[in-house]
Amino acid sequence: AFVYAELSSAYPMAGGEYTMIGRTLGRFWGFVTLVLVFVSIVLIVAVIALGVGTYLGVIIPNLSPQWVGVVTIILAGAVAAMRIKLNAFVTGIFLGIEMLALLILTGLGFAHVERPLSSLFTAPQLLDATTNTLVPASAAIILASTAVSLFAYNGYGAAAYFGEETHDAKRNIGKVVLWALVITVAAELIPLTAVLLGAPDLVGLLAAPQKIEYFLEARGGHWLTVAISLAIAVAIFNAVIAIILQAARLLFSSGRDKTWFGPINNAVASVHGTYASPWIATIVVVVLAALACFIDLNLLLVVSGTSLVVIYALLCVAVFAGRRNGTTSGGHYRMPLFPVPAILAFVALIYVAYQNWLDAAFGRPSLIATLAIMAVAAIYFLLFLARRADWNLHGPDELAG
């Protein structure tokens, strides 16, 4: 978070990580990041949208997850194509519904505590599917799962994507990133802790296909389960809107930088005359994410699972480079105790990557998929961009000047 805050303060632009890394580490790493982030975001939109049908299933059983996901993405894309102020209003209302649901979930858990808080830390366990019993979770398993768990907290750095639409972004965006992390961790960790402590039976909870539904039925009854499930569906829809907004601005930024070919650049970099949004870029994201809903879920998770580890590692290197070459000197935020946070984060990420490589079932294929995406991006760069003098990373002020 400190790394994101410092880099986003220097470059609060629609390109997000692509701009941060490209400006500090050079055009090659910037383009590799662009492709890796865009592919990951599109797949993440599909993964999240596929979950809507699960929670609507308490009212309408036997829904197709794929088609519910497609409809969710199309509706979210329609909202995302509107003015940013309207998006802020809509997502703000949905956020209020989410927080109310989380408060109810948290209250139910802490009102029916079945086990001590210390048990979550001193004796972590997981479900052995073959014996349907709880077994100790080793440190290696916990660390190998970290790459996937990063996905849960990812998003606090997305504030940078809206920097061009934020007042005095260079001064404020760093604080926004840090507060976003604090709120995200609290909003996810506290309810999760409450559920783990308040579940009547951990084996039943972990074995249940829909764990939150199991907990709610046990502690709140059927109608509360229906209400909270609908609120969770709203939360997922809200997340899809936010991520489509992010992905569209990333694609818009790439077109503005003339990354692709003439007509494509002009299309994705176009802004709607009435709504002032990158509407064609939004349509492209919606179409790609909707198609991704028909890809096997396990494959979606494998391809997107460890990309965050690589992106975070590149950001750690970028913050060092920015301090060294002065490219981040224009930012107003500086991380405390530099370079300690960046070093600790980088070392931790390397270890997480190593543990994932040891996981032949999920981690290693995911790392290979991430490296394959980076290789394709590198080949495109060498063939089409390396010798082009007109391809540079631009901000709105630079284009205006």
Output the CA torsion sign for 284, 286, 292, 298.
positive
Burial-class residue 171 by CB neighbours within 10 Å (0-12, 13-18, 19+): middle
Percent with pLDDT over 70 in the chain: 97
Domain layout of the chain by residue ranges: 2-400
CA nearest 79: which of 242, 314, 322, 287? 242
pLDDT at res. 151: 66
- Could you report the per-residue pLDDT of 329-367, keeping only the tens digit for each? 888 899 999 999 999 999 989 988 888 898 888 889 999
What is the pLDDT averaged over residues 296-309? 87
| pTM of this structure | 0.88
Lowest mean pLDDT among 80-89, 377-386, 392-401: 392-401
Q: Cα–Cα distances in Å, from 94 out to 75, 229, 230?
A: 14, 14, 11
What is the pLDDT averaged over residues 70-82? 96
Taking the CA atoms of residue 49, residue 16, residue 252 and residue 262 in that order, the dihedral angle to the nearest 10 degrees is -130
- Could you report the per-residue pLDDT of 130-182, keeping only the tens digit for each? 888 888 888 777 776 766 676 678 888 888 888 877 778 788 888 999 999 99
- Could you report the per-residue pLDDT of 94-139, keeping only the tens digit for each? 999 999 999 999 999 999 999 999 988 888 888 888 888 888 888 7
Is a pLDDT exceeding 50 seen at residue 400? no
339 preceded by a cis bond (ω within 30 of 0): yes
Q: Report the number of secondary-structure helices (H) and strands (E) in the chain.
A: 20, 2
- Could you report the per-residue pLDDT of 246-302, keeping only the tens digit for each? 999 999 999 998 899 889 999 999 999 898 899 999 999 999 999 999 999 888 988
Percent with pLDDT over 90 in the chain: 60
Residue 260 phi, psi (nearest 5): -105, -140
For the 2-400 domain, the top CATH level (class) is mainly alpha
What is the pLDDT averaged over residues 223-249? 93
Helices (H), 145-261: 146-153, 169-198, 202-207, 211-219, 222-256
